[in-house]
Amino acid sequence: MPNNSKRDKKFITGVVFFGIVIVMTLWAVISSYVGGTLGSTEVFNFDFFGLSQDPEDHSFTTLFTTLIIIAALVLFLMLGVKQWRDDKKTMNHDDQLLESDISEIDEMTQEEFDEYLVVLFKRMGYRSEAVSSPSDPGVDVLLYRDTNDLVVVYAPLSKERIGNEAVDAALDAMKRHKAQAAWIITNSRFEKKTIRYAKDNKLRLVDRKILMNIVDRATRTAIDRLASGR
């Protein structure tokens, strides 16, 4: 299953950043008082509270202002963590699946890839269903663009280039299901002769490069949908 690595990495980066700011601020305050000088915290030497400019009062103002800033940073960090947790709960299974990047797709099983494509097509507004079966080769997903427009989708996961046999299998599946079109979608690439062969048979090919572009768009759609609360 996808692990939402992109969103998690951004969140972790934000947590680390605010953590560093808080630690550095505390270190500056402690160092200045232990060392007997406020030079290292001079950035906080503002009389926000109308206190006297007497050195002792000014030291108190600096410390008090610093603590308020630290408290604000900690509060902001806690709110960020809460929002991240809420997003995790809100995000449904389909959204999580669509956040898979190409490296995660490479690690999927055939069944998981079929499910990914079903969800992707549904998000695009089509009716789709997984039909992968040893007794029905050459088709992994049935895609209905409208009532009388059926597309068989063959989706081989592979580390090798896809050859003509995949086109033959998809064409046979198209005839069996009486579909109007056949597509082959893969995480790999096609042999040059296969590209020509598919073109001659009016069969659409989606290779690794095209799939990566689709994945990027699907990810943005999932994030936008989550952000809008739809």
User: Over the Cα atoms of the chain, what is R_g?
Assistant: 28
Tell me the C-alpha distance between 58 and 51, whole Å.
Answer: 7
Count other C-beta atoms under 10 Å from residue 189's C-beta.
16
Strand partners for 152:
142, 182
Q: What is the pLDDT of residues 106-124, one digit of tens each?
A: 999 999 999 999 988 888 8
Looking at the chain, list the stretches that DSSP marks H as alpha helix, in order from N- to C-terminal side.
5-35, 55-90, 93-98, 102-106, 110-123, 164-176, 192-200, 208-228
Residue with tokens 């902001």: 76
pLDDT of residue 95: 79
Percent of the chain with pLDDT over 70: 65
Average pLDDT over all residues of the chain: 77
Q: pTM for the whole thing?
A: 0.58
Q: How far is CA 109 from the centre of its chain?
A: 19
Q: Provide the b/e sequence for 79-105 (b: ≥16 CB within 10 Å).
A: eeeeebeebeeebeebbbbbbbeeebb
Q: What is the pLDDT of residues 67-109, one digit of tens each?
A: 777 777 777 778 777 777 766 665 577 777 888 889 999 999 9
Contacts of 169 (CB under 8 A, 6+ apart): 137, 138, 154
